[in-house]
Chain A
Amino acid sequence: MASALMKNEPPIANHSTRSQFRWYHLITWPIDLILAVRKMATASSVALVLAFVMTLNVIWGYPWMGITAATLTMLVGGWMAQWLFRPRLELSPGVSAPIIAGQTTAFPITFRHQGRWSTFDIAVGPIGEHSSANGIHRDDGLRWQGRPRFISEIATQRSITIPMAVTASRRGEHSLPPLLVETGFPFGLLRYRRTAAVPGTIIATPEPIEGADRLPIRNAIDQINQWTQQNLHGESFDYIGSREYVAGMPVQRFDFRAWARTGTAAVREYHAPSLPRIRILIDPYVDSQTTVAFEWMLRVAATLVSDLHDSGFVTECRVLLQDESVTSGEDSLVSLALLQPIKVTTSQESMNQRMIDLLSSNEHSTSRTRTSTADSMWVLSSRLEVEPILKTHPMHLLRMPTPMPLSTEG
């Protein structure tokens, strides 16, 4: 799943801190030059330029040739030195898990210096609100957090890994925003500043609900928990049968009788009581007015998934009209993160029928199981039309604050 979480494109040569040339730069180069000079300016360079302009009076005989030479040399030489030791970084993020929207998460980023010479005094940090990203696409859903990080030296063809914090403002798959790479080496005479693209995307799962809004969900889970505890009370391990031994099976479970009878090694198998499997059915359809409610529903779903997982329940997340369920908690959250709402345009009967079928099949399968801890299906929908359907089935209806209509069916 990690590949789905972090889609690292293959590194493009010098993809990172090199500005891109476009055809219109042929026309706009004077403005680009002015802007570039402005971008490079520091207090020192401004002082040097002012002094240099003043010392141009040497043409009238002022004895400032030494200072003219000094200012010019420091400007030109400083620029050359900075160019030689400029950071040419290739960035590769090391994201291994999805992040949660609204929360700040840190993950390591490896900075590899591709230049011929070592680079020094590099500050890496988020791009300011008003800074341009040099044509690199910026995803507003994701922002780097914190103050710039400082790297004192990276030798040529060497790398350094430092943690960088990021916050997603909304769920979904986001491309990582570029970082600002800056150095004033040497002596702060000039400033070298480039935006460095960070390859890859990251998935932000819906933000869990917190505070008072979370209470009904917590209550519902507690209720399920109570039933489960009651039902499991007095349960025993039931023998189901024997099967052929395969290397790796626990030898304590050898069925010696069967072995003697059949001549092949066999082990006994038991049915163990387990926690109920909670199925969450997500209705991706939205009315035109319920987009906000849809997002809220996903947050509820994410909260449910994480809370149920924490309580030890096995959850199964399924989206209406999709044939496969996702069982892993992390994968469920990822599927919630990537879920796109579908606008209802025609009759809702077919999708409602589909939901009824799923509920019916779940009831059927539950009645067939011998345990009293029947699997539960939780239906989450942002449409009000769903509520009458759920009422026709035995269910526990949770009243949640608007705009979230939440129904559970067990």
Chain B
Amino acid sequence: MNRRLTELPFWAWWMLLLVAMLVLLSSTFGNWFPVGMLMAVWIAAISIRQSLRAPRATSGEGEHTTFGQKLLITLIAAIFASVGAIIARNQIAFDNANFIFLGVRAASFVCMALMLALWTVRPNRGHPLMLVLGLVVGLLSIVGGAVTSSIAAQTSSGILCTLAFLGASQITYQARKRDLIGAPQIANETSRTSNRTRVMIAISVALVMATGAAARGFNEAMPWIQEDLRQGLQSSIQQIEEGRLVGGMRYVEGDQIGTVREHMLSDPSAVALRIEGDIQPNYLRGHLYDYFDVGRGRWSTANPSYLRRFVPTRETLANRVIASTNRAELPANAVPPRGLRHFELDGGDFDQPVFATMKIVGSPIRGRTVFYPSTSRYIQAMGQEVVVNHHGQIERGIDTSSPYVAGLSRQTPNTDLSAAQSMATLYVAPAQASYLAPIARQIVTDASTNVEKAARVQSFFQENYVYSLDPFLWPEGDDPLEAFLKNRPPAHCEWFAMSTTLLLRMVGVPTRYAVGYVAEEYASERDAWVARNSDAHAWSEAYDDVAKRWFVVESTPGRTYATAQVVNANSEASADGSIDNDFAEDDTPGVISMFVNWLLAQRATDAIYSLFYYGQAVLLIGLILWFVRNRLSNRPQDEEERQAQKWLRQTEKKLQRLGLVRNRGETLHAFADRVDASALMPHNVGGVACPSDLAMWMRSFAANRYRGLSVTAPPR
């Protein structure tokens, strides 16, 4: 095959794209292999047919879908849909499969088959519908788990999508163009078709770089957009959740009073998290909220711009990015399981070693919240970078469709509170402060330290209130929190956590509102600890200014806070820093196994991302060098010659402003004659320079250069 790449027939380009899509689908959906092989045979058959045809047949001219072919396409799609349905039915029957996943797989199955059918009848021109189908296949395969939610994977998928789509679009465009003009009666000013190719390559590179930047931008902005949108649609979502349609299908959010209760009551036995390991997980934190917005009646995390409306501080509470840690920085035995990366949580200093790990298995359809104990020292998970908020709580960056591992310490980390953090965690709305202050002082009385104050408040609620999941109804027009503190009705955890948080703030204890699950149930049939919807919980965390730690304040009557506890002695034995790793094949890694593990941890998307990340700089430098080289190569070596050409360019520019442009191939003398002729026209009178003088200069320029004489400067 000695053809140049650019001379490949259209069908060959289509073949490459289709093979790439087939590989993507087959790798995404494991049981695609037999079907993928069938489709590969199909592609090979069409390719052979095309390569055996006359070269004329590679142009795509006259390729139109007849009625019979349309019928054929429909039949093929129907056959593949039936095969898909049979496979799906078998899986439903034997595998207790996820219906959504099966739907995704079936849809991608049919789309790919349709693409192949369309390609069969139009191997060169392709069909515009193939563009749509290709994108749908890409989207479905991503939903099916082809790539993770990490920035690297998303960027890579975006780049590949851009390249593939541009290629497919160019093929259909070229085919349409040929269809439009019939025979290739292409008129071209010059033979510089490579100029067009160069421009197209430059545009492709620019689009790819822009895609990378946009993907990164989306990754940064999306949480805020999601938050704002969620706030905007809160009422609608709440209505749906009240109807218990989907509330139980998501992770608990708990930002609005009552939503934790709703979550607990909607499909209470549904398992939200599964925790594997010999550790009783107990409190798994998913959300930490800073302040309570009375107007909107909900807790919010410190969005820096939003927070400034409540807390006048210039200090930002921006999120931080944590990159995965290199192996050398890990503890001796800390081998990241296959495909997982190690992220050291820097919410503070851990003065105690990791004593145990737990593998947390979530459900991707419930959301992307990461739940882990507050004593977690590190997280091992799929992902490139992890973004944590100012509390050190993971916001995003972890692929929750895969299990992740939390390395546990005995205590929460030592941490200093910044001024902004103090302000954010001490903020109480003035309307609430007016009635909370006396109550808080009355409860705390003579307590001096933050821990003592927290204990008093905790005791106040534990002793004077009763837990109930019945809704707390307060008199219309009254402040609900005031009514709760005044009437002391039976209530659920949210009321206690909120009251505790705000009361402690009133007495100068930085406190935050936490929401998560309390996983205390061991499900022997699953061989794991489970957190069900009914285990959703809200609590408070107060800051101990002496020990410089956050600690849990559990005010809900009947509940006692407990950190993760080892229930198996064997596991305890390995708690001195060793990792109980379900994924690792070898706990005592050698150099080779370390290398193999590292190699396996590198995914294709990461490689593409790295290539792009560093490659774009190389590309940019290359482009700049190319431009510089072009300019230098066109630049004459002789200074006098350079000056002469500069003067000529200036003169031509002056004339260009008067609407006089020298044509290609027009001699300077001919152009000067034309300038003289046009100088008589009224629209040139009063120009920046007298055209006839410039024409005269051009004549002398041409004459002098012909004679090898020096050129004088043009008239100003």
Interface of A with B (CB < 8 Å)? 10-11, 13, 42-44, 46-48, 50-51, 54-55, 58-74, 77-78, 81, 85, 118, 120-121, 123, 147-155, 157-160, 162, 184, 186-189
Contacts and interface: CB of A to CB of B under 8 A. Distances in A.
Given A55-B139, A69-B211, A77-B210, A63 B128 contact: no
Contact of B147 (A63, A69, A85): A63
Given A47-B135, A65-B219, A70-B161, A155 B177 contact: no
Interface string B187-222: 111101101100110010011001110110111001
Contact of B664 (A43, A120, A158): A158
Nearest to A54: B139
A184 B154 contact: no
Contacts of A157: 656, 661
A51 B139 contact: yes
B189 A154 contact: yes
Contact of B367 (A55, A61, A78, A158): A61
A184 B180 CA distance: 12
B394 to A, nearest CB: 15
Contacts of A51: 132, 135-136, 139
B161 A189 contact: no
Nearest to B365: A61
Contact of A160 (B176, B189, B215): B189
Interface string B230-251: 0000000000000000000000
A158 B189 contact: yes
Interface of B: 128, 131-132, 135-136, 138-139, 142-143, 147-149, 153-159, 161-162, 165-166, 169-170, 172-174, 176-177, 180-182, 185-190, 192-193, 195-196, 199-200, 203, 206-207, 210-212, 214-215, 217-219, 222, 225-226, 229, 367-368, 656, 659, 661, 663-664, 683
B186 A44 contact: no
12 contacts: A44-B173, A55-B139, A61-B226, A65-B219, A66-B155, A68-B218, A147-B180, A152-B193, A153-B192, A155-B190, A186-B203, A187-B170
Nearest to B178: A150
Contacts of A13: 659
B172 A73 contact: no
Contacts of A64: 139, 142-143
A281 B161 CA distance: 75
Contacts of B149: 63, 65
B170 A188 contact: yes
A62 B143 contact: yes
Contacts of B656: 157
B611 to A, nearest CB: 15
Contacts of B193: 152-153
Contacts of A66: 142, 147, 153-159, 161, 211, 215
B91 to A, nearest CB: 23
B188 A44 contact: no
A181 to B, nearest CB: 13
Contacts, number: 196
A67 B157 contact: yes
Given A67-B139, A118-B195, A61 B368 contact: yes
Contacts of B159: 66, 70
A189 B176 CA distance: 13
Nearest to B192: A153
B243 to A, nearest CB: 18
Nearest to B228: A59
A227 B173 CA distance: 67
A377 to B, nearest CB: 45
A60 B189 CA distance: 52
Contacts of A62: 143
Contacts of B211: 66, 69-70, 73-74
B214 A72 contact: yes
B190 A73 contact: no
Contacts of B177: 121, 123, 150, 184, 188
A387 B254 CA distance: 106
**10 smallest A-B Cβ distances: which pairs?**
A188-B173, A43-B128, A66-B158, A69-B214, A66-B157, A66-B154, A69-B215, A47-B131, A44-B169, A51-B135
B128 A47 contact: yes
Contact of B176 (A59, A78, A188): A188
A59 B226 contact: yes
A160 to B, nearest CB: 5
B196 A153 contact: yes
Contact of B162 (A61, A73, A151): A73
Nearest to B146: A63
A118 B195 CA distance: 9
A50 B199 contact: no
A148 B131 CA distance: 26
A149 B188 CA distance: 11
Contacts of A71: 135, 161
B200 to A, nearest CB: 6
B187 A160 contact: yes
Given A59-B225, A78-B207, 13 more contacts: A44-B173, A47-B128, A50-B132, A61-B226, A65-B149, A68-B218, A148-B181, A151-B189, A155-B189, A158-B664, A187-B166, A187-B203, A188-B176
B257 to A, nearest CB: 23
B180 A69 contact: no
A152 B188 contact: yes
A66 B139 CA distance: 10
B210 A73 contact: yes
Nearest to A182: B180
B139 A188 contact: no
B189 A58 contact: no
Contacts of B181: 123, 147-150
Contacts of A188: 169-170, 172-174, 176-177
Contacts of A11: 659
A153 B180 contact: no
B158 to A, nearest CB: 3
A118 B200 CA distance: 12
Contacts of B225: 59
A147 B178 CA distance: 12
B187 A150 contact: yes
Contacts of B170: 187-188
B34 to A, nearest CB: 27
Given A59-B229, A188-B173, A73 B218 contact: no
A58 B218 contact: yes
B215 A153 contact: no
A391 B193 CA distance: 72
Given A77-B207, A188-B173, A148 B165 contact: no
Nearest to B162: A70
Contacts of A186: 199-200, 203
Contacts of B196: 120-121, 152-153
Given A120-B199, A149-B187, A150-B187, A65 B166 contact: no
A357 B169 CA distance: 76
A116 B230 CA distance: 46
Given A64-B139, A118-B195, A150 B162 contact: no
Contact of A43 (B172, B189, B367): B172
B693 to A, nearest CB: 23
A286 to B, nearest CB: 43
Contacts of A72: 214
Contacts of B212: 69
A159 B210 contact: no
B17 to A, nearest CB: 14
A379 to B, nearest CB: 46
- Greatest chain A CB density within 10 A among B143, B157, B158, B195 is at B158
Contacts of B165: 44, 47-48, 70, 74
A102 B161 CA distance: 53
Nearest to A123: B180
- Greatest chain B CB density within 10 A among A63, A152, A154 is at A63
Nearest to A153: B196
Contact of A153 (B148, B157, B190): B190
A50 B169 contact: no
